[in-house]
Amino acid sequence: MRKKIIAGNWKMHKTIAEAGVFLRGIQGHVPSRPGMEIWIAPPFTALHACMAFVKQHDLRVVIGGQTMHEAAQGAFTGEISGMMLRETGASFCILGHSERRALFHETDGIINAKVRRALETELTPLLCIGEKEAERESGDYMNLLELQLASGLAGIETAHLKRLVIAYEPVWAIGTGRTATPEVAQETHKKIRGFIARRWGESIAGSLPILYGGSVKPDNIAELLDQPDIDGALIGGAALEVRTFVAILNNVEKV
């Protein structure tokens, strides 16, 4: 049985005070079901405060970063290392998000270096892949997704891939309200898992959680999670408000 993960990516939202209000708001709504984890990626500045909150209130929420630098340390003004993330108590780091690829020019090579550094630092990489609208329409989006996986994971020992989580986030569905239908998402997840099986073996493919991201909302979470190859969700907008996030958690409980 693969674990299920409901992850919130706050992007560049929430001060420390706002993060506290959110975590207080979801207290009492976090599912206690074994095998189900709730992850939140706050901005760097709120990481430490969020960790302190979850520890103090025994909240079953896993805290992680949204990006990190690939070097261990150095003259990289404004950047944050994996060790710095670890020290705040972060357990995972989102890597290769389409916003990082498009707005901050992260290539598959850079993302690969980040994934390796995260593994070395004992952070779980949450590696995001996803095609743009034109790539979906052209029909050969799988080539792109396979390339993102093959280059993002190049040179990593197969045994280490057990510590990885993948998020499939079609770029055309992010922040647009145009979520992939459960059928389209399932079909793509199945193909992604098939590629992983061919490349790294059935055992890794069978145990690797693959999350879906892109306009996940309270009213579509259940049908998405119902699909056999969808192991959870990476949520942006609907993970910012207590009301919508709690509604998602409640609907997940019913699946």
Residues at the site binding ligand 13P, with contacts judged by CB under 6 A? 9, 97, 169, 174-175, 213-216, 234-238
Distance CA 88, CA 47 (A): 6
Nearest to 166 by CA among 138, 184, 146, 183: 146
Q: Tell me whether residue 23 or residue 234 sits nearer to ligand 13P (CB atom).
A: 234
**Which phi and psi angles does 208 have, rounded to 5°?**
-80, 120
CB 99 to ligand 13P: min, Å? 7
Helices (H), ranges, 1-140:
16-26, 44-56, 82-88, 98-103, 108-120, 133-138
Q: Tell me which of 97, 106, 146, 189 is the catalytic residue.
A: 97
CB 24 to ligand 13P: min, Å? 22
Q: Tell me whether residue 37 or residue 200 sits nearer to ligand 13P (CB atom).
A: 37
Element (H, E) at 94: strand 92-95
Report the residue number whose CB is nearest to ligand 13P. Answer: 236
Give the pair of three-digit tokens for residue 203.
């055992």
CB 8 to ligand 13P: min, Å? 8
Q: Tell me whether residue 9 or residue 204 sits nearer to ligand 13P (CB atom).
A: 9
Rg of the chain over Cα atoms, rounded to whole angstroms, equals 17
Q: For tokens 């074994």, what's the residue?
A: 34
For the four alpha carbons of 214, 63, 48 and 90, in that order, the dihedral sign comes to negative
Q: Tell me whether residue 68 or residue 204 sits nearer to ligand 13P (CB atom).
A: 68
CB 31 to ligand 13P: min, Å? 19
Q: Is 160 a catalytic residue?
A: no
**Angle at CA 186, nearest 5°, toward 181 and 210?**
115
Q: Is 169 a catalytic residue?
A: yes
| Residue positions annotated with a catalytic role | 97, 169
